[in-house]
Amino acid sequence: MSDSTNIADAILRQGFIDVKVFVSGLRQSHRLQVVREKTPLGEIPFLISKYYIPIQELMRLAEQLQLPLKHKDTVVYPKGKAASDFASDPGTVVRVEQEVIEAEIED
């Protein structure tokens, strides 16, 4: 297992990570929370920031942490990866239907 995979697993277990980013020329400390979102592919763990982070910094963090990041409408995946690479198994889907009563009418 590579170091980036170990880091990603540790972040997912802990539920958050504190990162340093440059915003408007100032170095700031931000906490990114792990939030699992349900999609048709399964659950995807996103690192979500409450505060604004420039797209360049989001891309850098996604590459370093090897996890998808999300801020408002912007979603960033590490290079060469897509949502399906992070989706967990959706599991068994159970569909419940109403009972149908069939009856024959005799004349």
- Decide if 49 is inside a domain: yes
Nearest 5°: the CA angle 75, 76, 77 is 125
Higher pLDDT, 14 or 91: 14
- Decide if 102 is inside a domain: no
Tens-place pLDDT, residues 17-57: 999 999 999 999 999 999 999 888 888 999 999 999 999 99
> Can you tell me which residue has the tokens 């009418």?
105
Dist CA 21 CA 26 (whole Å): 8
- Decide if 99 is inside a domain: no
Q: Give the C-alpha distances (Å, rounded to integers) separating 13 from 29, 55, 71, 80.
A: 21, 26, 21, 24
pLDDT given for residue 46 in this prediction: 93
Instruction: Read off the pLDDT band of 59 (50, 70, 90).
Output: very high
Tens-place pLDDT, residues 67-93: 999 988 899 999 999 888 888 865 555
Q: Give the C-alpha distances (Å, rounded to integers) separating 35 from 1, 10, 78, 91.
A: 24, 15, 17, 19
Domain that holds residue 18: 3-86
- Decide if 31 is inside a domain: yes
- Number of domains composing the chain: 1
- Decide if 16 is inside a domain: yes
- Decide if 18 is inside a domain: yes
Is the pTM here over 0.75, yes or no? no
pLDDT given for residue 91 in this prediction: 57
pLDDT given for residue 40 in this prediction: 83
- Decide if 97 is inside a domain: no
